[in-house]
Structure 1
């Protein structure tokens, strides 16, 4: 409320008080005596002429007339006072409304100023953290990584930019050096501490802040031995990445692109790999115990000696894959595609293979004891004879008769 408006309201209020006081004074000092003189006095002057009964009756009527006149005047004045009060109330409401609008505008301006100041601080922190990433001192680089993590938590606006920066930091500082190739048994070098820190921040990020249609890019990164336990790498691009010996226990890799990735000896126990693309990936001796690979694409993948016990491999595409001596005990391969796959000496004991496609698959010495092959397609008698079966193996009706 402005100073001028306050003065106007004070003046109006003072004027109204004066009006009330003036009316009361006018009634008491002028109007009431006048009305008394006008209505009662003539009757008193005729007291001697009128008898007592008529005199008192006329005087009472005159007094009532005076009272009625005063009431009329009071009513008129009250109406005027009400009008003034309404006017005063309207003025006051308008003043309060203006005051509320001004307060709201001030609050908005204060909020905007605070946001600008906060964004300025975040920008300053971001710039400093980026500078720290380029330091030759690993302690300073770690400080930059954790500073970026704090900014990502504080600012949704900068969250994804920071994830892209950290992903680029990993790719640039841990590029693929050479193709390790199948059968290479030497242990990968220990991952740099700052690379591991960046991966931890990426894996533990708040995924609800991720923008749609934006995916992490860790392709061609050499992150062998990385600890990505329970990391969220859903839909991430890990094409040709080296994850040899990586710890991916309960990691979320749903829909991830792992084309030709190296996962030899990786620990993927209970990992989520639904619909992941692992075409040509190397998974020799990988531990996929109870992993979920439903609908995953593993064509031409190399999984010799891998552990797939109790894994969910429903509708998984193993076309042309190498599962030599792989352990698939009690796994679910319902309607899996095993066309052209190398299943030699693989352990399918008590495995669900209902509706699986065995076209041109190599089942030589594969253990099918207790397995359920009912409803499978493209399975020949020759393939059954080359495998190990027992009385618990559930075969197709036609093959059972031929087996007998």
Structure 2
């Protein structure tokens, strides 16, 4: 995932300079076009002004100064329209550059947060969790990706027993922080940064604590084959809404105190 986002970030940085003609070719061509256009407009205006005078007796000559003034006015208006089109195109290009710069900056933030999540020190991992949550709020296009990374972190192998091999100091605090951040984004489903309608995948995760009370699940949520052990996991007053929450194969080991809301209760081991 880090690689794919990095490729998306680096793609706009390639050379996309158009192959322009030399100015010594463009300038004479532009002058020729302007001269031809001026001649066409001049004859057209001359014809328009000479038509009323052709019916007069005796025939009144056309004032050449009026023809020139009218031609210049028409060419000026055409130039103003072309200048407006050019300015609009330039603005679109500037907005595109700004969008690509924003996307590149957001991708850099994602890469940094993902690297922090894999750090050995718990404090750095905590910083990565908060950074990824802030990024999800700022980057709606890739919000699901950020949520998937946080859920994937909870699905990673975890040893809650401090005396067991593979136990990481401070890891429980990091995981509880991930759960609390997810919970906070599920409690206000109408907020612009709510995660209620996004997919949450806790399949096979080991949760030894966490509070999902008052959460609103409006998207697909999976606790399939998850293990709840060694702490208190709460679902009080949680609501499913239009979403689906699955606990197929989930296990609750002894010593776990769970407060159930309207969610289905998984089997106890």
Q: Mark yes or no: TM-score above 0.5.
A: yes
C-alpha distance in 1, partners of 2:237/2:68?
A: 77
Structure 2 residue aligned with 1:201: 181
Structure 2 residue aligned with 1:36: none
8 Å Cα contact 1:176/1:241 also seen in 2: no
- The question of 1:219 aligning with 2:203 is answered yes
1:77 to 60, 63, 76: 63
3-state SS of 1:229 partner: coil
- The question of 1:160 aligning with 2:152 is answered no
Equivalenced residue count is 197
Q: 1:77 to 1:170 in 2, by over 3 A?
A: same
Q: 1:101 to 1:242 in 2, by over 3 A?
A: same
C-alpha distance in 2, partners of 1:99/1:272?
A: 63
Q: Which has the higher contact order (CA 8 A, sep 6+)?
A: 2
3-state SS of 1:246 partner: strand
1:266 to 255, 258, 263: 258
Q: 1:195 to 1:142 in 2, by over 3 A?
A: same
How much has 1:87 moved relative to structure 2? 2.6
Structure 1 residue aligned with 2:190: none
Deviations along 1:119-147, whole A, 9 cap, x unmatched?
Answer: 11111111111111111211111110111
Unaligned runs of 5+ in 1: 13-68, 178-189, 283-301, 303-404
Q: 1:97 to 1:169 in 2, by over 3 A?
A: same
C-alpha distance in 1, partners of 2:215/2:174?
A: 17
8 Å Cα contact 1:243/1:266 also seen in 2: no
3-state SS of 2:239 partner: coil
Q: Which has the higher strand share?
A: 2
Aligned Cα RMSD in Å?
3.6
8 Å Cα contact 2:160/2:208 also seen in 1: no
Unaligned runs of 5+ in 2: 1-26, 39-57, 162-169, 187-193
Q: Map 1:21-60 onto structure 2 (within 5 A).
A: none
> Whose Rg is larger?
1
Answer with 97-106 or 247-256: which moved more: 247-256
